[in-house]
Structure 1
Amino acid sequence: MLFLDVDGPLLPFGEDPQRAPRGTTSGSRLAQLTSEVGNRLAALPCELVWATTWEEEANSEIAPRIGLPRLPVVSWPEPTDQHKREDRWFGLCWKTRTLVNWADGRPFAWVDDEITDADREWVSKHHSGRALLHHVESYRGLADDDFTVLDRWCRTL
């Protein structure tokens, strides 16, 4: 299973610290989506799952633009106050607990621009299956190297 974020991995945003600023609007960001990225995602030997704040909109706005079918969508429950405090304390991404619960012990890869070492450590302690938490720079989006890593990891299962 591959949990897939939209903003950052599929729709790059922000500034590359090594380059001059660029202007982008949400419309021009959507125009960046191509069937090539959809074909590359579909070729990965895993089940794709939207793990994004776009939720169902990812199926209506993103999937058709990149040639993917409707995908399962992670719904984000409201975290408890205790979890909010713990997540801040441990430096966890707000998605981490939900994705581990969704995976329910099954192997998963997660592609996101918010993943940190704190998330990797937490998942290794709280998830019984294999997991790959793959950080993608928000200004760059998914690139050839990322697809290579994901494909190799999925094929080792």
Structure 2
Amino acid sequence: MTECFVYDTVRTPRGKGKKDGALHEVTALELSTQTLKAIRDRNDLDTSKVDDVVLGCVDPVGEQGGDIARIAVLNADYAQTTAGVQINRFCASGLEATNMAAAKVMSGEADMAIGGGVESMSRVGMGASGGSWSTDPGIAFKSYFTPQGIGADLICTKYGFS
């Protein structure tokens, strides 16, 4: 199996995810575009060598809907040959996207891939994509659905984290 190396990391600014948050005016597309441009510029990257950009997005609806990874690739002026795919694994979407990018390299499917996540909760609120998991009592009870904040509090209480 081919080894995979992380060559650079970029973090976007963050703020409170609300309608009057510090980043409310910045779209998810702009956040992902800025990140891709930073990776390109900081590394003098020939973007034609990037096989795929994998971005996690929890609520791919509205302005962060469609395939935001491919749209960001085009918006960041990457080579037309650079693919982009968006995946959703809820709160682990960015981590899973990074894992998928690494797996593509390790398996030989790609020589170079970029993985990460994007979300603008100031513009597209939590749960905007809908779904029955949290709203349909039949599946919520069957799957023991618990909102992430409550789950975090339970884990902290059980294991003594402050």
TM bracket (short chain): 0.3 to 0.5
TM-score (norm 1): 0.33
TM-score (norm 2): 0.32
Taking CA–CA contacts closer than 8 Å with sequence separation of 6 or more, which of the two structures ends up with the larger relative contact order? Answer: 1
